[in-house]
């Protein structure tokens, strides 16, 4: 299990500067969200990616000893505005078509959320249709759709993600697991149970993992911090991750550049023990 990083934690940079910066900070792979991390190519709308461009970016990272483990696609996948949803789906499908030219095995996303978390049966139905369409595209290109459950999103819990995987059965769907996204102020005290449930329901489908940490403050607020800066049970998380998916790639989140070495060392230290 090697520890990589979200590329956009370094800011938005020309890709020829971003790749060596990732390597200089000790990371061998990244989750790359093109329009968040790369400044010298316009990725603001679909249509400008080509095999040549994807190869150029992928090769730049490769020359610096960094692979692209995940293409991140931060879009709302069940947007109630149908025109916007179609644009979001088209953007995701474009990444699926070109993922292998970047050297990435998957395109991953959370589902999206509505203001006030007022989700309906229709939202679920639309999301299922979206996943079916994305999976059909992924199957054509031999890549994965990575789905991540995140608190407050339509798919916010491990059981909800397990339900979606049952409703859209495909070997081209995988899980990006982030226990930090499954924790809330209400369930933080029983976090071991939440983490164990996630592995029980989703462990066999994990294709990548995220690493951040959480703190429950005295005022009852759940705060997100870099790995090792909080109170999440990383011993349990790494033990189960190694048990269910040895050598799965871990992508570090949240850390600012001056915190990255400490957070990475924390994760690596636990991995060596478990």
Give me the phi and psi of 30, to 5 degrees please: -140, 155
Q: What is the mean pLDDT of the chain?
A: 97
Kindly list the domain boundaries of the chain, sorted by start residue: 3-273
- Neighbouring CB atoms inside 10 A of 20's CB total 16
Q: How confident is the model at residue 78 (pLDDT cuts 50, 70, 90)?
A: very high
CA 121 remoteness from chain centre: 25
pLDDT at 1 over 80: no
Q: What is the pLDDT of residue 274?
A: 85
Quote the CA–CA distance of 87 and 46 in Å, as a whole number: 8
pLDDT in tens, 153-183: 999 999 999 999 999 999 999 999 999 999 9
- pLDDT value, residue 88: 97
* pLDDT score recorded for residue 90: 96
Looking at the predicted structure, is the pLDDT value of residue 195 above 80?
yes
5: closest CA among 273, 274, 268, 270?
Answer: 268
The token pair at 231 is 């109170």
pLDDT tens per residue across span 16-74: 999 999 999 999 999 999 999 999 999 988 899 999 999 999 999 999 999 999 999 99
Per-residue model confidence as pLDDT tens digits over 215-259: 999 999 999 999 999 999 999 999 999 999 999 999 999 999 999
Q: Classify residue 263 by its DSSP letter.
A: H
User: Does the pTM exceed 0.85?
Assistant: yes
* CATH class, 3-273 region: alpha beta
Residue ranges of alpha helices (H) inside 103-218 are 121-141, 158-167, 179-182, 191-202
């Amino acid at each position: 299990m090697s520890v990589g990083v979200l590329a956009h934690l370094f800011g938005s940079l020309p890709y020829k500067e971003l790749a060596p910066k990732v390597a200089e900070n000790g990371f061998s792979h990244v989750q790359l969200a093109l329009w968040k991390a790369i400044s010298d190519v316009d990725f603001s709308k679909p249509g400008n990616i080509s095999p040549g461009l994807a190869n150029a970016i992928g090769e730049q990272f490769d020359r610096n000893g960094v692979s692209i483990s995940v293409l991140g696609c931060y879009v709302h996948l069940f947007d109630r505005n149908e025109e916007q949803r179609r644009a979001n789906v088209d953007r995701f499908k474009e990444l699926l078509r070109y993922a292998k030219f970047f050297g990435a095995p998957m395109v991953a996303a959370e589902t999206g959320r509505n203001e006030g978390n007022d989700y309906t049966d229709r939202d679920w139905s639309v999301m299922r249709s979206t996943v079916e369409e994305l999976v059909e595209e992924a199957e054509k290109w031999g890549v994965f759709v990575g789905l991540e459950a995140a608190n407050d999103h339509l798919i916010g819990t491990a059981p909800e993600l397990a339900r979606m995987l049952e409703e859209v059965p495909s070997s081209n769907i995988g899980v990006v697991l982030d226990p930090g996204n499954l924790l809330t102020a209400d369930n933080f005290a029983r976090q071991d149970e939440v983490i164990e449930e996630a592995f029980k329901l989703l462990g066999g489908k994990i294709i990548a993992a995220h690493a951040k940490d959480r703190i429950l403050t005295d005022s009852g607020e759940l705060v997100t911090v870099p790995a090792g800066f909080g109170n999440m049970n990383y011993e349990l998380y790494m033990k189960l991750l190694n048990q269910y998916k040895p050598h799965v790639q871990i992508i570090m989140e949240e850390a600012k550049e001056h915190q990255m070495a400490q957070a990475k060392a924390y994760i690596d230290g636990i991995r060596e023990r478990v």
